[in-house]
Amino acid sequence: MNTSSTANVAGAAATATTPATAVSLRQDASIIGLVGTAHLISHFSQLLLAPLFPWLKEEFSVSYAELGFLMTIFFVVSCAVQALSGFAVDRFGPRPVLFGGLSLLGIAALGYSISTSYWMLAGFAVIAGVGNGVFHPVDYTLINRKVSPSRLGHAYSVHGITGSLGWALAPALVVTLTFAWSWRVALVAAGLLVFAVMGALLLNRDKLTLDVTPPGKGGAGPDNSLSFLRIPAVWMCFAFFFWYAIVLSVVQAFAPEAARYLHGVPLALVAMCLTIYMVCSAGGMVLGGFLAAEPARCERIVGIGFGAAAVVALLLALGSFAAWMVPVLFGAMGFASGIAAPSRDLLVKRSTPDNASGRVYGVVYAGLDIGQAVAPLIFGVMMDHGQYRGVLLGLALVQAVLIANAFNVRKVRRTALANA
Structural domain boundaries in the chain: 33-208, 230-420
Q: Is 128 helix (H, G, I), strand (E, B) or coil?
A: helix
φ, ψ of residue 134 to 5 degrees: the values are -90, -15
CATH topology of domain 33-208: Growth Hormone; Chain: A; (1.20.1250)
Please provide residue 324's backbone torsions phi and psi, each rounded to the nearest 5 degrees.
-65, -20
Query: What's the confidence (pLDDT) of residue 79?
Result: 85
Distance CA 74, CA 84 (A): 16
Residue in 308, 326, 306 with CA at minimum distance from that of residue 317 = 326
Let me know: does 235 contact 245? Beta carbons within 8 Å.
Answer: no
pLDDT at residue 241 in the model: 86
Please state, in angstroms and rounded to a whole number, the distance separating the CA atoms of residues 52 and 182.
10
| 273 Cα distance to chain centroid | 20
pLDDT score recorded for residue 288: 87
Q: How far is CA 13 from CA 16, 215, 381, in A?
A: 5, 40, 66
Q: What whole-number distance in Å separates Cα of residue 95 and Cα of residue 93?
A: 6
Which amino acid type is present at position 400? A
- CA–CA dist 154, 151 (Å, integer): 5
Give the separation between CA 312 and CA 89, rounded to whole angstroms.
39
Cβ within 8 Å of residue 370, ≥6 positions away: 79, 242, 245
Q: Is-contact 121 45, C-beta < 8 A? A: no
114-149 per-position pLDDT tens digit: 999 999 999 999 999 999 999 988 998 899 888 988
- How many whole angstroms separate alpha carbon 164 and alpha carbon 276? 11
CATH architecture of 230-420: Up-down Bundle (1.20)
pLDDT at site 296: 75
Predicted local confidence at residue 152, as pLDDT: 84
| Structure confidence at residue 164 (pLDDT) | 82
| Burial readout 81-115 (b: 16 or more C-beta within 10 A, e: otherwise) | bbbbbbbbbbbebbbebbbbbbebbbbbbbbbbeb
* Contacts with 19 (C-beta within 8 Å, 6 or more apart), sequence order: none
Given a cut of 50, the residues of the chain with pLDDT beneath it are 1-18, 20, 215-224, 417, 420
Q: What is the rounded CA–CA span in Å between residue 382 and residue 388?
A: 7
Q: Where do the DSSP E strands lie in 38-132? A: none
* pLDDT for residue 10: 42
Give the model's pLDDT for residue 232.
73
Closest CA to 94 of 138, 157, 132, 36: 138
Type of residue numbered 50: A
How confident is the model at residue 329, as a pLDDT? 96
Q: For residue 46, what is the enclosing H or E element?
A: helix 2-46
